[in-house]
Structure 1
Amino acid sequence: MKAVIIMGSKSDLDYSKKIASKLADFGIDAVMRIASAHKTPEKVLEIIKEYEKEDVVFVTVAGRSNALSGFVDANTSKPVIASPPYSDKFGGADIFSSIRMPSGVAPMLVLEAENAALAVAKIFALKDEGVREKVVQFQENKRREIYKADEELR
């Protein structure tokens, strides 16, 4: 049980590390790789093939023109979560390349590193009771944060 985080470039590393860190909190291993759907499509295919027979979820991290998410999804039967890092450079408009996909291509779009890790954990929680319990505890902690913030405000 692991998440394979494929980054489009090294500039996505800090964001990907945030995903990997949160995955560790759920007890899920993360493997980080770099390959570009535009520049090195053969490398992307090699990575998919390397992990295809394992119990994995692919997480794709690519900004600007996010061909990576659709390309990975079109070439695997495993779940793919697209989690492009936000960029002010284009006023957030680069997100559009992650939203519309061709028919038969369905990566799930999850913004924010913590939420991408949570989505991976929920997928694995379908089969792993330990991960499910960590997801439930995570959600409970988030609820407690709201109650605590309300108490502190009074």
Structure 2
Amino acid sequence: MIEILIRKAEKKDLLSIQRLLSTYFLDMEELEPEDFVLAEREGNMIGCAALVREMSGEKKFLELHSIAIHPNFRGKGIGTRLMDYLINTLRNPDKPGNPVCELYVRTTAPGFFEKFGFVKLQDAEKLLLWADCKSCEHFGKCSQHAMKYSRV
């Protein structure tokens, strides 16, 4: 197994995060370095994922964003390690197994998230959560699946 450190990102990690995200044509629009968790090997960032607080009407929730693994390290469990770290930080200490807040993701890789207990949402639910989906010209043919963490 590869020796990996998972840690919260800091401002000094901005360039490394941007470089990795650009590999997959992802950007950091409205995201800060501190929103990210990093996977490092021998001091080099090899993966990242962001967790962002969102609000839709009165509903507050968390959304996973911009999960990216360096191409040389894909398929080696780095994404799983990042997801385990993020999900474990959401545990409610008073109710073991229950997250402290609802967690969602929009993704083109639903199979990856299903392994962690995410389930696909219907388009109507997607529209309730994300205002940007309502006005998107690609909504009817969107390749992103909206998913909710449902493991209790």
**TM-score range, shorter-chain basis?**
0.3 to 0.5
Q: Which has the higher helix share?
A: 1
Higher percent of residues as strand: 2
In the superposition, the TM-score normalised over structure 2's length comes to 0.37
Ranked by relative contact order (alpha carbons within 8 Å, sequence separation 6 or more), the top structure is: 1
The structure with more radius of gyration:
1
